[in-house]
Chains A and B, each alone.
Chain A
Amino acid sequence: MIDAPALQVNDLYKSFGDNAVIKGVSMDASRGDVISILGASGSGKSTFLRCLNLLETPDSGDVFLAGEKMAMKRNRRGHQVPVDIRQVEKMRSRMAMVFQGFNLWSHMTVLDNVLEGPIYVQNVAKAEAKEKAYAMLERVGLSDRAKYYPAHLSGGQQQRVAIARALVMEPDVMLFDEPTSALDPELVGEVLEVMSNLAKEGRTMLVVTHEIAFARDVSTKTVFLHQGEICEEGPPDEILKSPKTEQLTTFLSRLS
């Protein structure tokens, strides 16, 4: 399956109790695609992203990563569960996630945060991992902060470390869950710049965001979620300039 899309999602459903949050979302991301996922709060965009690496377990639907299916089965109570948790862990390591709240490990230095994945998940030799980690920190412009603790960095710097931590895994797909929403306005730029550079390199990225400018300028495709369903999708130029649905029009007018 050489030509398999980097990420393929088929008919994903997820509800919390009686509350159906994702109602049949499908998505394809080819290698190098940068898909921005927009939607009002409560539209299920974060939940969708978290279903991909099984931080939330979807009720049904399939996730393929580079053609490999995340194998799920039903347990006795009818809930969907992984067939093989090892496979899930492997696939998780191939789709690195960047969180809204950075989620750096606070008791580790910046360097140790970045080293964790290569050394303890991928079993890369320490010296090699260190070299890679420094290269990634260099990329996000923070190699001089390697020995700092996350608490001693600004939000923007912490998020850039989190991106370096994701990047060092050399993932097939990068998942960004509102990466700039927790940042002070003046710190948003530095994070978006790093992300734009990644996009230019041809990384496959799924970005849940409120940054319309980023969606318009950087992403190759924009998906607008409304109440757990894809309401509109297409090239950002088209759908952001001339939205076809009332929902997207309202959403965009509220933002500007």
Chain B
Amino acid sequence: MDAVLSYIPLDITLIAENFDRFLYGVWTTLVLTFLALLVGGLFAIPMAIARASKHWLLNPIIWSFTYVFRGSPLLVQTYLIYFGLGQFEAVRESWLWDPILSSAWWCAFIAFSLNTAAYTTELLRGSIVDTPSGEVEAAIALGHSYYKRLRRVVLPSAFRRMIPAYSNEVIFMLHGSVIASTITLQDILGVGRWLNGRYYLAYEGFITAALLYFLIVLCITQLFRLLERRYLPHLRERDTTTDSAPLPGSIR
């Protein structure tokens, strides 16, 4: 075993000894990323609807929001919230300071959520606007009300069509979450940085971190492959070899 390890120019034992830290880093990264995606995604739905429907009041407000959060780097947004808000006495004395705005985790979480909400809003807005107008007309002609139309035709269709593009947003968010490590959080990269700082060994920490991100991205892409198979069967070529067999995928 030692003979094998001696060929590898990395200090494997050091990584192994600290692997529980890395696993905790994985946990931190995953929780932060996916909670932000969940919350940001939920906020994005009504905002995208308001944008797509060109609501006279909400549309310009939401447009400004998405413009600001897509127009500046996530790192800057995180710093503004984490370092910036604490400058104000009023913020430090408000009920929001403890336990929320004084905590690095919460600041990262808020910045990430707002950022992904902005991107997802625009993604979903585009998808809603691209709904084939004939399909919307068919829903109108059927007697659907505006909200039923949204719920039964426009949104199900828009969500499905945005699945492939949304996988990018998920991966970008995962990679963007390394910003958490710059405000003291021990996410995957945070542990790598800690290892580097403590032992002056760059590769051990950073290669491990890279491999862990790689693994998570692999899981994400597989998950989206499953989602596409499940929800986009109508975009697939029909399997002509088994003509008589019904296609899977009917919800009912």
The residues of A with any CB-CB pair to B shorter than 8 Å are: 53, 55, 85-86, 89-90, 92-94, 96-97, 99, 101-107, 109, 111-112, 115-117, 120-121, 126, 144, 146-152, 162, 165, 169
Contacts and interface: CB of A to CB of B under 8 A. Distances in A.
B143 A89 contact: yes
Contacts of A92: 140-143
Main secondary structure of the interface of B (DSSP, over half): helix
A106 B157 contact: yes
Contacts of A102: 134
19 contacts: A55-B140, A89-B143, A90-B143, A92-B142, A93-B142, A96-B142, A99-B134, A104-B135, A107-B156, A112-B250, A112-B251, A115-B252, A144-B244, A147-B247, A147-B250, A149-B247, A151-B235, A165-B142, A169-B142
B144 A89 contact: yes
A107 B155 CA distance: 11
A104 B142 CA distance: 11
Given A92-B142, A103-B132, A107-B156, 12 more contacts: A94-B143, A96-B141, A99-B137, A99-B138, A104-B135, A107-B157, A109-B249, A112-B250, A117-B143, A121-B143, A121-B148, A165-B142
A93 B153 CA distance: 16
Nearest to B133: A103
Closest 9 CB pairs of A and B: A93-B143, A147-B246, A149-B234, A103-B134, A103-B138, A97-B141, A152-B238, A92-B143, A121-B143
Interface of B: 132, 134-135, 137-145, 148, 152-153, 156-157, 160, 231, 233-235, 238, 244, 246-247, 249-252
A101 B148 CA distance: 22
A53 B250 CA distance: 30
Contact of A120 (B148, B157, B250): B148
Given A101-B134, A103-B134, A106-B132, A53 B152 contact: no
Contact of B234 (A53, A115, A151): A151
A150 B234 contact: yes
